[in-house]
């Protein structure tokens, strides 16, 4: 079985000091409980190409009414 690879490409006219894109983020969705995902919201994302983890801001947590987990 071949591994599925996901990626995206952003093109800029010059070298950028910060890679930034508008992204759509959906609240958590369980297809066994809900018939369709809830409405997404648009946010600006900043990409750290050397990162080994992912972080979202409190603004995203609040906007999507997410529960914080330790």
22-48: pLDDT as tens digits = 988 888 888 888 777 778 899 999 988
**Does residue 35 belong to any structural domain of this protein?**
yes
Distance CA 62, CA 57 (A): 9
pLDDT for 17: 86
Number of structural domains in the chain: 1
Q: Which domain does 38 fall in, by range?
A: 19-63
**Does residue 4 belong to any structural domain of this protein?**
no
Residue 16: pLDDT band with limits 50, 70, 90 = confident
**Does residue 50 belong to any structural domain of this protein?**
yes
**Does residue 69 belong to any structural domain of this protein?**
no
Share of the chain above pLDDT 70, in %: 97
Contact 21, 44 (CB under 8 A): yes
pLDDT for 9: 84
**Does residue 43 belong to any structural domain of this protein?**
yes
**Does residue 1 belong to any structural domain of this protein?**
no
For residue 28, what are its two tokens? 């958590």
């Amino acid at each position: 079985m071949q591994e599925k690879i996901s990626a995206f490409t952003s093109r800029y006219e010059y070298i950028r000091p910060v890679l930034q894109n508008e992204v759509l983020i959906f609240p958590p969705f369980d297809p066994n409980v809900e018939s369709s995902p809830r409405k997404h919201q648009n946010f600006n994302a900043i990409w750290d190409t050397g990162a080994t983890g992912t972080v979202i801001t409190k603004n995203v947590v609040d906007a999507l009414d997410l529960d914080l987990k330790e």
